[in-house]
Structure 1
Amino acid sequence: MLSLSSRQQLVIGIALTLLMALTRSHHWAALHALPDASWAVFFLAGMYLRAFWVAPVLMLGAVLVDYVAITWGGVSSFCVSPAYWLLIPAYGALFLAGRVYARHHRLSWSALPWLLGSALAGAVLAELFSSGGFYFFSGRFAEPGLGEFLPRLVKYFPLNLSTMATYLGLAAVIHVAVASLRGDARHTG
């Protein structure tokens, strides 16, 4: 189990919030090449941050970033639909998956299956809620059905999963580097 001080959690929380704000849906022209880190942010928040109120605050932050981008940034509002609320269970699944992994975390290769399994489970649920919700409930598709949704799932999920994996890999490298610098060979937090 991770054991972080309040100060460490605050620093991580600020870093995750900034990462999401700067990468979310290419809202910022200077950072247009960075993929959206939202999925990884919610997983990592669940993993590192003890307070459950963090999840709804991050969700409100995501809504605020979208609102600002659409209202003042000229970003398309295509994804804002009656299905937008399904981001709550999507991001909630990622946050809870991070919580599950945190209970099994240790700086050891034996924790890797827990990391991969919990991240994959959270990502699958997030994809089903977000993409599935958008496809079936947004009103943007004339006759939504599984026959059309499954090819979309196969097309878009690998990109979303690889983006999340990239950010989680970067976080793992940073985590191990910090643990090494601290000289904590059996690092638990």
Structure 2
Amino acid sequence: MNIKQWLQVEYLPIPLIALMTLTRFHHFGDVLHLPDASLAVFFFAGFYRKKALFPFLLVLAGLIDTIAISNGTSSWCVSPAYVFLIPTYAVMWFAGRYCSVFKSLKPTELLMQFGVIALATSAAFVISNGSFYVLSGRYPDLSWGQYFSRVAMYYPPYVSSALIYMILGYGVMKLVKSLPALAASHKEV
């Protein structure tokens, strides 16, 4: 089996599941851990249109969080707002589905997809972060000024790590698409 076959729809869940499993335990990452790749995982799962993968990944995310908390990770983020991770990830899923209509990796299409990804990631942040501040009960007296100062602290790592994973994912896709042509030119030499 070659790499192009491995990355086809039927095999895609394996690397996505592995990536989520390896990165979800530490949301922003640190010296020893990669940042959470869940947003990118849901995006690429939507990109390849496997409908059963969305609920499976939701359950997997909840299971990973449960295991992480039972092994000492803080449960600070688990609150009544936790259910808003469903629409958060749905935004990424549908952004992936939308971006899947672009078949080539031309610069104009990549730029359009990057815009969709940036918008979807920002919307995902607003849903997850906003619901946490409104519904968690952790910040009953939080002013708008305090909220925006906290947003300024969490928004850049949230969006940048997701964008980095997605850029890397597109890089892998471009590489896989170019392998047959590269192999053919290598045989001719």
Q: TM-score, normalised by structure 2?
A: 0.85
Residue identity over aligned pairs, in percent, reads 38
In the alignment, residue 80 of structure 2 is paired with which amino acid? P
SS of structure 2 residue aligned to 1:144? coil
- On the 8 A contact 1:39/1:94 being kept in 2, the answer is yes
1:113: which partner in 2? Answer: 111
2:42: which partner in 1? Answer: 42
- On the 8 A contact 1:136/1:144 being kept in 2, the answer is no
Give the one of 90, 93, 113 matched to 1:92: 90
Q: CA deviation at 1:80?
A: 0.7
Is the counterpart of residue 61 in structure 1 residue 60 in structure 2? Answer: yes
After superposition, the C-alpha distances for 1:10-61 in whole angstroms (9 at most, x for unaligned) are 321110111001100328xxx942111011111111112x222211111111
Give the one of 150, 159, 163 matched to 1:165: 163
Q: CA deviation at 1:100?
A: 1.0
Using the alignment, how far apart are the partners of 2:110 and 2:119 within structure 1?
14
In the alignment, residue 131 of structure 2 is paired with which amino acid? G
2:69: which partner in 1? Answer: 70
Report which stretch shifted further, 122-131 or 143-152.
143-152
After the TM superposition, which residues 1-189 of structure 1 pair with which residues of structure 2 at under 5 Å, given as runs? 8-26=8-26, 32-48=32-48, 50-71=49-70, 73-183=71-181
Instruction: List runs of 5+ in structure 1 lacking aligned partners.
Output: 185-189
Using the alignment, how far apart are the partners of 1:38 and 1:58 within structure 2?
9
Name segments (4+ residues, structure 1) moved above 6 Å. Answer: 4-7
Instruction: List runs of 5+ in structure 2 lacking aligned partners.
Output: 183-189
How many residue pairs match? The answer is 177
State which structure, 1 or 2, has the greater radius of gyration over its C-alpha atoms.
2
Using the alignment, how far apart are the partners of 2:57 and 2:156 within structure 1?
24
